[in-house]
Amino acid sequence: MQQDDQNRSGQGLLSYIWTEWISTFVVLILLLLTLVIGTGEMIHGQLLRMGERLYGDPATGMQYSFLRAEPTAPQCNRNIDVDAAVQKQMKEDAADEYADFFGVRSEADVRGAIMQAQQVCEESYTFYDKAVEHIKANPSIRAYRQFETTFFGLFKFGTENRALLLVIMVVFAAISATLKTHHIGLRSPATKIDFRLYSIAMLIANGFLAFSAYSQYQSVLNSGVPMGEMKYIYWLWMILFSTLTLISLFQMVKQPKPTKEGGSIGMAFLSIPLYAYMAISTGFNFTFLMDYPMGQGIYLGQLVEFSSIFLNLALFIWAGMLLKQTRVVDKFLNVLRPWNLAPETLTWLILIAAALPTAYTGASGIFVIAAGAIIYKEVWNAGGRRQFALAATAMSGSLGVVLRPCLLIVVVASLNKEVTTDLLYHYGVYVFLVSSTLFLLISLFFAESKFRIAKPSVAAPDSGRALVAVVPYVIIFLMTWVFYKYALSTDLNEFTAPVMMPVILLMVVLFDKLRHEPAPLPPVGHWDAALDVNTTGHAPAPEERPEAPQRQLGFWKSMHISTSETVGHIGALVILMALSVSVGGLLERMEIMEAFPTDINSTILVITMIVGLMIFVGMIMDPFGAVILISATVAPVAYQYGIDPVHFWMITLIGFELGYVTPPVALNHLLARQSIGDEEVAAADAEVRHMSFYYRYERWILPVIVLLPAMLIIAYVPYIFKLFGWYQ
C-alpha cells in the first residue's frame, strides 16, 4: 500500500489508474496470450495425442481426428432402386447432345458407376452410425473436443494476429511510459527547466510521428491497395502517437512538480529522451528535406514485420522483472559472500555468473534492470569503489549477449542466411572468454588490494549452507525443463527460451512467496579495505543480508509489480528500438554506405573501417535496430571484401557490447541508473571528485578499456591466424 500511495502522489488519479491497473491488466493478458501462442503448437499436438489415447479405438478404426466435429448424416439415399437409376441415367445420356463428344457409356458402365456411388454412400452411413455410437459410448468426448478446438481457435487467432497483438501492447505500454516520464534519457528530468524542455521535445517528436503515421495511412488509402488487417495497425499507430502528442501537450501546460531547484539549459537537453531526439531528427529530415513524411511510419513497419521477435523480447522483459521479484540472485550471491573476496575478483565471478541470465533474458539491458541494484550493492559492500560498482553493474548486462540463447543472435541469423545460430553461439563463447578475462586483468591492475579471501575453515561451511539453499531453484528449473522436454517434446533453446523462461520464473516467484521469508534487516556495512574487515565488525553472513521490502509481498502483488514494471520497460525499450530502426532507415536512404570505397586492396584496412563503424553505430543505436541496419547495408559490402560472415558478426557483436557502455548513449549505463537510482549515482560522483581523472570517470572508462582491446583482438587476431595459415 505504501508503494501505491507513493505512485499516486507522483501522478494524477486517472494517470495512476491507467498506468498501474488498466495498462498492467491489458499487457498481462497479452503476455499470457503470447505465452499461449508460443506454446500453442506443442500443447495442441499433445492435446491431439491425448484425445487419440482417450477416445480412439483401433479395433473399430475410429480415430479422435474423425470426431473433432459433430458427425453429420450423409445426404445420399442408401436404399435406391439400382435398375431404375440405371435406366434414368441412360435416358439422360441419350438426350445429351454432347454425349458423342465424350463417348457414349454402355449400360454396364453406368451400372458400375451407380453401384460404386452406392457403395460410397453406404460406407458414409456406416461411418456416421459408428461415430454416433462411439460418441454415445463416450459422452465426455464433447467436453474434451470443445476444450481442444477452443484452444486451437485461440492459438490460431493469436498466430495469425501476432503483429496486431504487438502493436496493441506497444500502444498501452508507450502511453504508460509517457505518463510516468519513464522514457530512456541521459538523465532524468528534475528541475522546472528540465520538465519544460522535456515536454516541448516530446510534443515535437510525437507530433512528427503522428503526422507520419497519418501520411502513411493516406498514402496506402490513395494507392488502392487492399489493407487487410494492416488497416487496424495503421489506426493504432495514429491513435498512439496522437495520444502521446496530447499527453505531451498536457505535460507542457501542467508540468510535473520538480524535485530540484535551479537547473540549466545544457543539463535540460540531457533530460530529453533518446527516442525524442531520434524522432525529431528523422521526422525533420524525412518531412522537410526528403519530402517523405510517411518515412517514420514505414520504418515502424519493421516492428510489425519482426513481430515474433519483439513479442519474444516482451516476454524476456517480463521474465527479467519476475526475476527481480525473486531471491534467486541473492541466494546465488550467498554462496560467494562468506569468502569475502576482493571486490575485483568477486565482480569477475559475478560477471561470469551474470552472463547466463543475460543470455536467457534476451538482451543486455533487461538483466541490468532486474539485478543491477543487487550487483551494485554487493560489489560496494565487498569494498569496491562506487564508481567501480557502477561500471560492474553496466557490464553485467553486456558480456552474455554472445552466448546461447540470446535473442540478438537469433535476429542476426534470421536476417543473414550466411550464418547460423549454432556457428555464432560457438564462436561467441570465445568472445566471452576474451572479454571476461580482460576485465579481470585490467580491474586487478587498478585494484588497491590485489587478492583477499577468507579462511576456508570459516567460509566453506557458510558457503555450503548457502549452496543447499540454491538447490530448490535448480530443481524448479530442471522440473520445468523436464516437463517441456518429455510432456511437450520441446527442448530449451534459443527459439523456445522466450516462452519457457517466464514460466520458470513464475514458478520461482510462486515458490518464494509460499515460503516464510525473514523480515528485512538493517543493511550491512561497507568493507573497509584498510582494516580488511566489514565496518559492522564481521563478514556478512547469508542470514544477515537485507531483503528488499518488495520481496516480502504476496504472489499476486508481486505479479502486479513485475507486470507494471514490464509495461514501463516495454514502452520505453520497444519505442526506442522502433525509432532506432527509423534512424537506420534514414541513414540507408542517405546512401551513406555508397561512400564506402569499393576498391580497397587491404583486408586489414577494411576490418579497421568496419571496427570504427561498428563502434560508432553501437554508440548511438539500439542493438536490434542496429542489426537491421547493418544487415541491409554494411554486411553485404563486408562479404564482398572476403570478410568471413561469422568473423564479421563477431566484430559487430563485440562492437555492440562496447556501444552499450560507451557515451554518448551508453544504454546499459542509463538502465543501470534506472535500477540503482539517481541519488546513488550522484553519491558515487561526489565520492571521487577529489581523485584523479581515471577514478572520477571509472564507471565510463573501465568498460571501454576492457571491451576496446577485446574488440581489437576479435577483429584482427583471427585474420592474422588465417593469413599465416594457422587455421582455416
- DSSP assignment of 22-61 equals IHHHHHHHHHHHHHHHHHHHHHHHHHHHHHHHHH-BTTTT
- Concatenating the DSSP letter of every residue in 662-682 gives STTT-HHHHHHHHHH-HHHHH
What lies within 8 Å, CB to CB, of 352 at 6+ separation is 399, 436
Q: Is 151 exposed, middle or buried (0-12, 13-18, 19+ CB in 10 A)?
A: middle
pTM equals 0.81
Per residue in 84-134, pLDDT (tens digit) is 888 887 877 776 665 555 555 677 888 888 888 888 898 898 889 888 888
Close Cβ partners of 314 (under 8 Å, ≥ 6 residues apart): 31, 34, 166, 169, 566, 570, 574
pLDDT-based confidence at 538, cuts 50/70/90?
A: very low
pLDDT tens profile 134-185: 888 888 999 999 999 988 888 888 888 899 999 999 999 999 999 988 888 8
- H or E stretch at 579: helix 555-589
Could you read off the pLDDT of 306-359 as tens digits, one per residue? 888 889 888 988 988 898 888 888 888 889 889 888 888 889 998 888 888 788
Question: How confident is the model at residue 530, as a pLDDT?
Answer: 39
Closest CA to 476 of 612, 327, 620: 327
Closest CA to 509 of 318, 650, 341, 688: 318
* pLDDT tens figures, 691-722: 899 999 999 999 999 999 999 999 999 888 87
What ranges in 96-140 are assigned the alpha helix state H?
99-102, 107-137
Bridge partners, residue 62, by sequence: 57
pLDDT band per the 50, 70, 90 thresholds, residue 206: very high
N-to-C CA span, the chain = 63
Q: Which residue from 578, 617, 630, 586 is spatially nearest to 305, judged by alpha carbons? A: 578
**What does the block give as the cell for 160?**
495469425
For β-strands 527-528 and 533-534, DSSP reports them as antiparallel
